[in-house]
Structures are given as C-alpha cells and as structure tokens.
Amino acid sequence: MTAPLVTIGLEVHVQLNTKSKLFSSSSTEFGHQPNKMTSEIDVGLPGTLPVINKEAVIKAAMFALSIDAQLNEKSIFARKNYFYPDLPKSYQITQEAYPIIGEGVLKVDNKEIRIERAHLEEDAGKSIHDGHSSYTLIDLNRAGQPLLEIVTKPDITSAQEAIKYLKKLHHLVRYIDISDGNMQEGSFRCDANISIRMSSDEPLGTRVEIKNLNSFRFIEKAIDYEVSRQHLALMNNEKIIQETRLFQESSGKTLSMRSKENAADYRYFPEPDLPPLVITEALIQQAKDNLPTLPEKRVQELMLSTHLSMDEAEMVTTSRATEYFYSECVKKTNTQSYKTIYNLIFGELSALINKNQKSIGFQSVKPEHIALIADYLSEKKISQPMAKEIINALWHTNNGSVDKIIQEKGLRLVHDDSKLIQLIEKVVHSFPEQAQQYKDGKTKLLSFFVGQIMKETKGNADPGTLSKLLSKYLKESL
C-alpha cells in the first residue's frame, strides 16, 4: 500500500496583544468575569459605530515587515454574515477581497512556505455549554478581540512540517511582540485544510477543514488521524466530502461538524460603517521603529559579536526577554566573559526559573549581577560552586548585592600560595597510603587530594593554583 501524498494549508488566528479591542475601547485583558470587558460596540447595540484600533494596524504592519510580505496600501473591511448566539451583530467584521497583507514567505528548514494573505478581523464571543444541561451561556469578553488571520498556500506536505511552520510562526509573533501566543487562552489557534491524493498526476483531492486546534500536539494528532481516515475512505472507494471537522481530544479522532460552507453562504459585502483602511508612510515608519532585530539576524550578530555557537545563539533568541537579558549582561561585563554569562543564564539561573515557574524578566537576579559574577569567575576571585551559591542567594533577595553576599558568606578563593602549601602538607601527610600509591604511579590520586583540600577550605581554594602547587609538592617532596 503506497502512502498518499498529503496537501495541507493552514489558517492561523493570532490574537494581537493590543490594549483595547479592534473596534472599541474595551480592554482585551483575559480572565475577567464574563461580559465585564464589553462595550455597546462589542455587544452589537444598534446605532453604535466601530472605530479601527491603530495599534492593531501597526502590529499587522509589523508582521508584514517581519516576513517581507506585501503590505497593501489600501484594504477594505467586510461583513461576514452568519447567525450564531456568540455573534451579537450576526456578522463578523473581517477582510475578504482586499486584505491588509498580501503574499509573503516563511522559510522553514530551507523550505519556503508561501503565505497567501493575512487579514484583520474581530473575534466572536464564547458559548459556554458545560455547567448547565438545559441552556447555553454567552460570554462576550472575547467579542471584538483583534485577530490577524494568516493563511498559507497549500505548501505543507506532512503533520511534522505543519508543526515546524506553526512553531516558527509562533516564535516570530511572540518575538516581534504582536501576540502573547498563549495557546491555552486561545491567542494562537489553527485551522488545517487537508486533502490527499495517491499520485502527483492526480488533481488535488477534496479538502476537509479541521477547526480550532490550540495545541501543537493536538494539531499533529488531528492531521495524522485525518490523513489515515481519508486514505482508508479512498481505499474503500468512498467519496471524501468537503466538510468541517472537529478534533476530539479524548478519542484522538476528528468528527464531522458541518458540511463546508462556500464563501457565497456568508454573503460578504463591504463594511459600510468603516472607511477603507489606508496604510500611511508614517504608520509604516512606526511599525519599523517597533520592530526588533529579527531572530535570524540576531543569531548571526550574536555569533559574531559574542562568539556563541549557532545553537547557543538560538537559545538566547528563544524569547525577546531572554535575548534582552543576555544583551544587557554583555553590555555590563568588564572582562568580555560572554560564554561564562551564557553558561550562568542557561545553567543555574534557568534551573531556578524553571523550578519556580518564573520568567527571566520577572525575578530578582539582574543582568548586572550575572555580569559581575562572570567577571569574578574570569578573574578567579570566585569558583563555580560559589557562583552557584551567589545566584541562589540573589534569587531570594530583592535588590541583592553580589559583593555583599560574597562578604557575608566569606566566598573568596584562596590564592595565597603559602597558605595552600600548608594545607597541602597537612592533607598529604594525613593520607600516607594514598601518597605512597601516587608515588608508585597511580597519578589519578591527584584529584583525590584536590578534593580533600577543597573540603578543608570549604571549596574556597582556586582549583587552578591548587592543582599546580599540589602536583609540584607531590613530585618534589615524596
């Protein structure tokens, strides 16, 4: 049985992280009591008029610039008509024939996934079916939230490739700070259009849409399930029906929801209450000013300026907050200890952040702390275990001081040769058996002695100096 050829197109709804909604001044904050974050406009009262939120337009423009997509000077809002309880106006304001963003490309592992378009639209409210058996509750806090819907051409050929594209897009929208990308809260949701055919000579098969996938794992499972379902149907000479399906998390299956509407069913027409959206030079400039150096370019910069490997530079750019933290450390180090800074951030500090479920921008170890600790490590004023101890102490103090912690805990490396030689003599003489074995050629025992002396100094001996003095002593005095 040959495997089918899979064709996937993705539509991603990215919720823009603006302060207010797309057409009203209501707050977009998540997690409030139902229907508290609504205005007359969001609930669709007659006589109210929508006003476009400039911040949302700038964020959409930032996305276009970040992937070098066509940013249309003029776009037009349209009404998409359908009746559903969580859509109070009975139409959604969206963009149809004239979207704000035209064609672009997102490169995934050297493959170009073409973006067909991206448009601005408002979100609908939420129907709450659980909790009451006899009726449905409506929460309109989400009604009017600004969405950027990003649509690919059918360029994706497997679930794995779909996930790679989505992760790249997710990283990008968070990095340029146009969305928080929170998938649990629905800030990044995906619809997948899937069709299969048995050979590339055949035309594309009938496509089926799976709606509202909001975790990478579910998206992968849903696509894989749908491909095998369609394949089995073809094997049994059944026809694939154009329809919308839902992914059921409990069974891992997709279930038929409704037969697919055609665009004509929505009776799209231009929104009479909004003028055409015009992108001015001034607005483009604002979008440019807000845009950080893009992750891929920043990786190259970091490799050049701070000598990180590509993997390390990619780690630094996993989020803008991490990139900012690292860059601040780099600015503050006096010894150019970039690699040490990297190791401190992704070692001890990351461990604390993960364990306590904090984020790097909201915790008490600051870039100046890490830079100073890295400097002290380079200058051999402190040891690695001491660095760890200092970071732990800083973690538990607000406005902590590295020097104060060093002083209070007595964390200074012993560099004093005479003091170390005294200790070496003492320790070597209290282990005569091991000393003899060392003399007989068991040179591995050097680390045993280092360990014993470290214990005596509570880890405060400089390991480099100690090893040097110790091997000299063992060679000469035995």
Q: Which of 266, 448 has the CB closer to Mn ion?
A: 266
For 284, the enclosing helix (H) or strand (E) is helix 281-290
Contact yes or no for 404/372 (Cβ under 8 A)? no
Closest CB 46 distance from Mn ion, rounded Å: 25
Q: Which of 79, 298 has the CB closer to Mn ion?
A: 79
Distances in Å between the alpha carbon of 58 and those of 30, 38, 41, 397, 427?
22, 23, 22, 39, 69
x-marked contacts with Mn ion along 34-63 as a string, rule CB under 5 A: ------------------------------
CA dihedral 324, 327, 332, 333 (to 10 degrees): 140
Selection from 221, 231, 206 nearest residue 253 by Cα: 221
189: Cβ–Cβ under 8 A, 6 or more apart, which residues? 12, 13, 183, 212, 213, 214
> Which 144-163 residues touch Mn ion, going by CB under 5 A?
149
Q: Which of 120, 382 has the CB closer to Mn ion?
A: 120
The residue written with tokens 């969001």 in the block is 42
Q: Which of 149, 155 has the CB closer to Mn ion?
A: 149
Query: Which region, judged by CB under 5 A, interacts with Mn ion, from 97-105, 141-149, 373-381, 469-477?
Result: 141-149
Query: Which region, judged by CB under 5 A, interacts with Mn ion, from 48-56, 143-151, 388-396, 399-407?
Result: 143-151
Q: Which of 149, 271 has the CB closer to Mn ion?
A: 149
Distances in Å between the alpha carbon of 365 and those of 63, 306, 423?
32, 21, 35
Q: Is 248 helix (H, G, I), strand (E, B) or coil?
A: strand
Main-chain dihedrals φ then ψ at residue 161, nearest 5 degrees: -70, -35
Closest CB 11 distance from Mn ion, rounded Å: 7
The C-alpha atoms of residue 436 and residue 453 are separated, in whole angstroms, by: 18
Closest CB 202 distance from Mn ion, rounded Å: 30
Closest CB 335 distance from Mn ion, rounded Å: 52
Q: Which of 148, 411 has the CB closer to Mn ion?
A: 148
Q: Which of 117, 170 has the CB closer to Mn ion?
A: 117
Contact yes or no for 44/89 (Cβ under 8 A)? yes
The rounded radius of gyration (Å) of the Cα atoms in the chain is 30
Closest CB 186 distance from Mn ion, rounded Å: 13
Closest CB 92 distance from Mn ion, rounded Å: 8
Selection from 27, 22, 29 nearest residue 50 by Cα: 22
The C-alpha atoms of residue 471 and residue 420 are separated, in whole angstroms, by: 12
Q: Is 137 helix (H, G, I), strand (E, B) or coil?
A: strand
Contact yes or no for 203/197 (Cβ under 8 A)? yes
Closest CB 260 distance from Mn ion, rounded Å: 14
Using rule CB under 5 A, residue 123 touches Mn ion: no
Q: Which of 140, 291 has the CB closer to Mn ion?
A: 140
Closest CB 122 distance from Mn ion, rounded Å: 10
Q: Which of 149, 161 has the CB closer to Mn ion?
A: 149
Closest CB 149 distance from Mn ion, rounded Å: 4
Q: Which of 28, 94 has the CB closer to Mn ion?
A: 94
Burial of 47 (0-12, 13-18, 19+ CB in 10 A): exposed
Closest CB 190 distance from Mn ion, rounded Å: 11
Q: Which residue's Cβ lies closest to Mn ion?
A: 149
Contact yes or no for 326/345 (Cβ under 8 A)? yes
Q: Which residues bind Mn ion (CB under 5 A)?
A: 149
